[in-house]
Structure 1
Amino acid sequence: MAITRTDWLDAGLDVLAREGADGLRIDRLASRLGVTKGSFHHHFAGAAGYRTALLDHYEQLTLQALDAAVEARQQQGTRATLEWLVELATDEPSSIRRAELDRAVRAWANSDPEARATQARIDARVIELLQTAWRPASESDAAARTAALVPYLVSLGAAVTVPPISAAELRAVYELLLGAVPGAATD
């Protein structure tokens, strides 16, 4: 079976989540995938190119899932959008929440400018999407931004808590926050 570029990137995300950025070694990834390092060099121009591609892959996966979630429910109003995001964020396994991977990328961002830039773009986009979801139920853009920060900061706190907050506990917190959403599902 031929190993694709995406296979390498997905394996890298798994290693990153389990071992952090220091675990991203070509020989270990090749062994994990059961291929030679030649396969790696067929897809990537060295370790630096791989790390760039991995960060791009992580960013795309993270934002595509969130964009799709918000777009799918936006016409149904603020509450429906936020309820759907709670479902996605607390499902096991979650399509938009991988606490161990989030922690690893944030740790990597502390020491690597490229990882930091990637995380900054992700954070800005997530807050923007949440602000868009909150805007119909808010009196101003500033109020929508403040409302958007609340669930995002809860999510970040849950991602870095040791031991991790369970999906069930996080769902209970989000449901408590949903009580602050004005109006019905048709805001």
Structure 2
Amino acid sequence: MSTARQRWLDAGIEVLAEEGGVDAVRIDRLAQRLGLSTGSFYHHFQGAAGFKKDLLAHLEQTQTSAFAGAIIDTQVSPDNGLKTSSDLIARLAAARAEIRSPRLEAALRAWALTDPDAARTQAAIDEARLETIRSVWRQVTDDEEEVRLGALLPYVIAIGASAIMPPLGDDDLHRLYERILTLVPDGPLDQPGEDESS
């Protein structure tokens, strides 16, 4: 990707987050912000519709790759759900500056309420992030319901933390994550079909 094209897309994301909505992402404002001409814009994008399409693709790529990169090296303990959860949360906390932008999260979700393309992008981002967490849990348990819930719980808390006003701070979010660790068994998770009385 050319440097100028990347700058246009990055500026689009910045304005979307800063201004809280897609209506602020206008060619003239981006050009002024970047010190580039509108000719540069049309050299890289097929009008406003082409920019929107490319901006959504860029958002999907950046929002999913940063998240996956943050937890790809989670230390999985197949016989210890609590240890795995602790490491997962520690990795998310360490990378929170790269993966957590409450204003961008809120702006993209608001855009998704009124635009089918943005809605598809947001759904793809959510699914990719959840699948990243599920891939960790699948190394801990074969129970797909445990995998599903184990991914949903921290993710829903993170989304909620971005949605409330004002957004929850990083320290409070981390404390919430530590609180949910009390729900995770210190040992192997129950496997499907196991008799709890045995």
Q: Which has the larger radius of gyration?
A: 2
Return the offset for 1:82. Answer: 3.3
Conserved? CA contact 2:89–2:177, under 8 Å: no
Aligned to 1:7: 7
Per-residue CA deviation, residues 14-49 of structure 1 (Å, 9 max, x unaligned), is 100022100011011001111211111111110111
Aligned to 1:31: 32
RMSD: 1.9
1:73-88 to 2 correspondence within 5 Å? Answer: 73-75=74-76, 78-79=84-85, 80-88=87-95
Return the offset for 1:183. Answer: 3.6
**Bigger shift: 107-116 or 78-87?**
78-87
1:72 alignment partner, SS class:
coil
Aligned length: 179
Return the offset for 1:147. Answer: 1.6
Conserved? CA contact 1:109–1:119, under 8 Å: yes
Match among 166, 169, 172 for residue 169 of structure 1: 172
1:37-48 to 2 correspondence within 5 Å? Answer: 37-48=38-49
TM-score (norm 2): 0.83
Unaligned runs of 5+ in 1: none
Match among 108, 115, 120 for residue 117 of structure 1: 120
Conserved? CA contact 1:130–1:148, under 8 Å: yes
Alignment-mate amino acid for residue 176 of structure 1: R
Return the offset for 1:96. Answer: 0.7
Does residue 137 of structure 2 align to residue 134 of structure 1? yes
Separation in structure 2 between the aligned mates of residue 181 and residue 95 of structure 1, nearest angstrom = 26
Separation in structure 1 between the aligned mates of residue 69 and residue 143 of structure 2, nearest angstrom = 24
Conserved? CA contact 2:16–2:24, under 8 Å: yes
